[in-house]
Amino acid sequence: MPNVFFVWNDELIEYIGQHGVTPDEFEEVVLDAIYVDESRSSGRPIVFGPTSTGKFLACVFEYLDDDTVIPVTAYEVD
């Protein structure tokens, strides 16, 4: 997913931070996901992948347009 712009605000940063995820980790996984699917609960895109910090994350987001992503949530998975 090259050339993607991520829309962040303080609320989103705080929310994913409650799950132990940073914006850099979120962006890293979305840009280099190893698995892409649709969230069963929301129908939004969900991607899975490792971070350079050693975590394996699930990241849910929405497309605002073809190259703009709004993060929704992220969490560490086993």
Cα–Cα distance, 33 to 69 (Å, whole number): 14
pLDDT at 2: 65
Query: What's the average model confidence in pLDDT over 33-38?
Result: 93
Amino acid identity of residue 22, one-letter, is: T
pLDDT digits (tens, 9 = 90+) for 36-78: 999 999 999 999 999 999 999 999 999 999 899 999 999 999 8
List the CATH number of the domain containing 51. Answer: 3.10.450
Give the pLDDT band of residue 3 (cuts 50, 70, 90): confident
- Expressed as residue numbers, the domain containing 28 is 5-76
> Domain tally for the chain?
1
- Cα–Cα distance for residue pair 13/41, rounded to 1 Å: 22
What's this model's pTM, rounded to 2 decimal places? 0.93
* CA separation, residue 6 to residues 2, 32, 41, 51, 78 (Å): 12, 14, 22, 17, 26
Return the H-helix or E-strand segment holding 58. strand 56-65
What pLDDT is recorded for position 47?
97
